[in-house]
Amino acid sequence: MRSRSFRRWGVANLFARLPLTMSLLALVLLGELITGSLATGAMLSGILTVTSGVLAQPRGRSLDRVELRTGLRRDLVLSSVGMAAIALAAATAAPVWVLGVLAGVPGVVSAAILGGVRALLVPTRLGDGIEPPDPPGARFGHGAFLWGAPPAP
């Protein structure tokens, strides 16, 4: 935590994750406000989540085609515009299907944001002179995460 660049990355990571997380909560509350049912809000959140997950790989490739910081800024702004469009549609009493279509917009746009921010960590840490993890050690840690720690003798 002594590294200034790592602290900056940590703050950027927080601000990149916060809109996506809060938008899901906002959609749940919006659906309940409009129809009185949490199920409608959950459906809107599900649309955002599914579009984000399904399109993460192609959106990540499109993020690779531009400078990473520029692409992340663009995607964060477009995600905010998508959420503003949802708020405007809700304020004008748009039907739920319109909100569902609009809920997919921030999902599509934000699909590559989390991976892009993680990709920024590598140059941040390597620029500090820190060695990258060795692949066997990384695989062992990943295996321990997936299958749990070995039983004690």
Report pLDDT digits (tens) over 104-113. 998 888 888 8
What is the rounded distance in angstroms from the CA atom of residue 86 to the CA atom of residue 79?
11
Residue 48: which pLDDT band, with cuts at 50, 70 and 90? very high
Is residue 128 classed as helix, strand or coil in its secondary structure? coil
Q: What is the pLDDT of residues 77-92, one digit of tens each?
A: 888 899 999 999 999 9
Is residue 92 classed as helix, strand or coil in its secondary structure? coil
Residue 42: which pLDDT band, with cuts at 50, 70 and 90? very high
Range 55-61 average pLDDT: 86
What is the rounded distance in angstroms from the CA atom of residue 109 to the CA atom of residue 51?
9
Q: Is the pLDDT of residue 135 over 80?
A: no
Residue 135, CA distances (Å) to 116, 122, 139 in order: 21, 15, 6
What pTM was computed for the model?
Answer: 0.72
The two three-digit tokens of residue 114, written as one number = 């989390």
End-to-end C-alpha distance for the chain, whole angstroms: 36
Residue 144: which pLDDT band, with cuts at 50, 70 and 90? low
Q: What is the mean pLDDT of the chain?
A: 80
Closest CA to 84 of 67, 47, 109, 120: 109
Residue-level pLDDT at 89? 94
